[in-house]
A and B are shown apart, each in its own frame.
Chain A
Amino acid sequence: MRKVLIVIILFIFSALLAYIIQKQPDAYNKPLNELVYFPSGKYVSQIALDYKGLIADMLWLQVIQYYGQHAMTDMQFEHLYRLFNVITILDKDFLQCYVFGGTIITYDQKSPELGLKLLDKGMINMPDSWQIPFMKGFLNYVYLRDYDAARIWFAFASTKPDAPYSCKAFAAASMMRKGDYITSMRLWSNMYIADDNKYIKEKAVFNITKLVEKELNRKMQSMTFSEFRDFFSEEIKAYDFLPFGISIKLMGDSIIVEEQL
């Protein structure tokens, strides 16, 4: 009984100590060598033996922590490509790694060439996936604004098994409308609906609200108030497809758009 009591006391003491240490400011600011134990891609596949999938999962959780930590602090993501590259060496069919990795490497690491390189690797490893060429079309459309390349990749995605009709629709939109903001919003909405990843959903909400805000402010500056009121009452109908509600407020002489919670 005494031994059990000692173990319980030691456990409570350890838990308290761990809690105090985690609350220290240094715990939030990880040192520069945070990825010192992250394996290099060269021999990781050989070392993993029978546990490639498990190690890929552990690294995936580490990447999420890395991304979340830096998204909350310094927004420095210079290792993202390396991290996703190692995971996809271990598990060549890790679809989410290519799709999510391609997006955040392009948007947050601000390296579209590396983001597209990861997607190219995904297309080689998963030739039947429509999601990867779709993502390539998406990034070309909304980030690089290369509408011809976007059209090619959306059309390519539509040839894959189980590709939704939206691939063809976005290919047509890329060809016809050359980058209107409604198509960009539809693309982000598509991402919002299709993905369970909360970071992708947050990114979609942020980009959609910014797109609406920018467009409405631009129109308001170029029109009289009555013209803008008529335009707005028509335009608001075009937002029906949005998977979440938005609130549009007039603050002084500018419009603020937010997600309606």
Chain B
Amino acid sequence: MNKLFAIAGTVYKESLRSKVIISLIIIAVLIIFASLFMSPIALGETERIVKDIGLSSISFFSLLIVLLSGTRLVYQETEKKTIYMIITKPISRARILWGKYLGLLSVIFTIGIITGLFLLFVVIIAKCGLNWNLPLSILFIFLQFVLLSAIAIFFSTFTSPVMSGIFTIMTYIIGFLIKDMAFFIEKTDIIFLKWIIKGIMLIVPNFYYTDIKLQAIHSINISFPYIIFVICYSLIYSLFFMYISTLIFEAKEF
């Protein structure tokens, strides 16, 4: 277990030393702060603009970090040839991969905490209504990236960082279009196309479930069973992708 956390700690330290990631955090904080000055032109909609910009910034910058960092995690070890040093140590390949995954999650979690707390601070300064939906929405964004990080690591086990980035972003986009795909299946008469789309819908996770930003802004109550469902959905999908990634990584020859 200590070895797992040692690898996670290394990923965490490396990522937070990266100038790109530090810059992204600073930009996210600045954007959230800038939303405070929108009130003169918002015509009474300051509250929704502050919350919307804040939540969208957390989501967007977490996405960038997954794409920039998550897709390179495995590849950079091979590129720098440090993988030879790691795999000769008494640690299983599964632990190496899980260590990297946990390291990436801890980076996203830290960024979520920093930007999330800053958003709550800005919401209080702007005298906007504060309710449980806001932290819940931040939690759901984190769950979204728990899942997307697993997908990024899955692709990075067998492709280059660029291709892994493209595949990850495509999965993310398709994940948001699943609802519309269901509508398309109803409309099309081509059986072959129906089967392909149904197949995609079954494999690709539905990211739409994790998006409750609008509910947070409009203070619409989220039921407890729905929260449990989304937590289980994200974690089960993440475990599935990490399990496949482990299988690929264990079979890989360096």
Contact = CB atoms under 8 A, between A and B. Distances in A.
B140 to A, nearest CB: 11
Interface residues of chain A: helix, strand, loop or mixed (majority): helix
A46 B208 CA distance: 11
Contact of A50 (B38, B44, B211): B211
A197 B44 contact: yes
B45 A60 contact: yes
A93 B45 contact: no
Interface residues on B, range: 20 to 34
B19 interface: no
A91 B214 contact: yes
A78 interface: no
Contact of B45 (A54, A57, A65): A57
Interface of A: 46, 49-54, 56-57, 60-61, 64-65, 91, 93-94, 96, 100, 195-199
Contacts of A61: 38, 41-42, 49
Interface of B: 38, 41-45, 48-49, 52-53, 55-56, 59-60, 144, 172-173, 176-177, 180, 207, 211, 213-214, 217-218, 220
Contacts of B207: 50
B43 A54 contact: no
B180 A46 contact: yes
Nearest to A93: B218
B182 to A, nearest CB: 13
B43 A197 contact: yes
Contacts of B56: 50-51, 53-54
A93 B44 contact: no
B1 to A, nearest CB: 35
8 contacts: A50-B176, A51-B56, A52-B213, A54-B56, A57-B53, A61-B49, A65-B41, A196-B43
A53 B43 contact: no
Given A46-B180, A91-B214, A196-B44, 7 more contacts: A53-B55, A53-B217, A56-B52, A57-B53, A60-B42, A100-B43, A197-B44
